[in-house]
Amino acid sequence: MRQITGLSNPTVKYLRSLRDKKHRRREQRFMAEGLRLLTDARETGHLPEILAMAEGRERHPLLDELVAATEAAGGDVIEVSQDALTKITGKDNPQAVCGVFAELDTALTRISRDGAPLVLVAQAMRDPGNLGTMLRTADAVGAGGLVLIDDCADPFSVEAVRASMGAIFTVPLAQARWEEFRKWLREGPGQLVAASLRDPHDYRDAPYAAPCFVMVGNESRGLPEEYEAECDLRVTIPMLGRADSLNASIAGAVLAYEVLAKLR
């Protein structure tokens, strides 16, 4: 472990730069915060390249294990001031520890068509909190992965990683343009399903078939018409109130749990 002082230290600057998508992309690195998240990462075989901790933090056996494992794997463990950690994380009240990880592979080949009855698909999902929540839901339903279509929020942003509650490290994640995804999907078995108002089935009584690809659209615009038309099955979720849509990650979860109940 080494102590680092000052806010202009190159490592502090580097860590801070990873808050920015452009830098993450260039460095192919991302940051995860908090002992719980970093422990989840460690337990699933992901150790940080750099582990930064605040001076004067409370001791914790899980932190000791994390430090030992990171150092054993050749990682850089540093101690910085509370001020520097605030700078790095951009939060007034940062978690006492954060780590830098190599970005994960997000090729479509990561997605598993067998071994799980369903896969989640998000199209142009712009909110990193929703995206992280989709990852968390994908973990809970035992999905074969989450496919991000078109211009989604960055799944490696601090906000998405946080909302995923560790699922960023466990759920196979793919990023693709629509045409690329469509082509890949049609090369093997897979039923594409989305909520829709176009001659839909009631979502409680629809002929789901594994592997079922459950797709949700952009938060404000929903799915493009062409994408809906490509679906093998269109379903409708009751909307009994004034609004005509659910939050995108909510719609995805309600559908995913229905599919799970039918295909498990």
Residues that bind a copy of itself (CB under 8 A): 40, 44, 129, 133, 136-142, 163, 165-167, 170-171, 204, 237-243, 245-247, 249-250, 253-254, 257, 260-261, 264
Q: Between 69 and 246, name the residue whose CB sits nearer to a copy of itself.
A: 246
User: Nearest Cα to 32, choosing from 172, 171, 167?
Assistant: 167
Smallest gap, in angstroms, from Cβ of residue 193 to a copy of itself? 16
Smallest gap, in angstroms, from Cβ of residue 144 to a copy of itself? 11
Q: Between 78 and 143, name the residue whose CB sits nearer to a copy of itself.
A: 143
How far apart, in whole angstroms, are the C-alpha atoms of residue 49 and residue 77?
8
Query: Hey, what are 95's tokens?
Result: 């978690």
Q: Between 15 and 116, name the residue whose CB sits nearer to a copy of itself.
A: 116
Q: Between 84 and 260, name the residue whose CB sits nearer to a copy of itself.
A: 260
Smallest gap, in angstroms, from Cβ of residue 257 to a copy of itself? 5
Smallest gap, in angstroms, from Cβ of residue 99 to a copy of itself? 18
What angle in degrees, to the nearest 10, is found between the helix axes of 61-72 and 35-43?
50
How far apart, in whole angstroms, are the C-alpha atoms of residue 180 and residue 108?
9
Query: Hey, what are 153's tokens?
Result: 């929020």
The beta strand positions in the chain, using DSSP E, are 2-3, 29-33, 50-54, 76-80, 97-102, 118-123, 146-149, 173-176, 191-195, 201-202, 212-216, 233-236
Smallest gap, in angstroms, from Cβ of residue 171 to a copy of itself? 7
Q: Between 4 and 140, name the residue whose CB sits nearer to a copy of itself.
A: 140
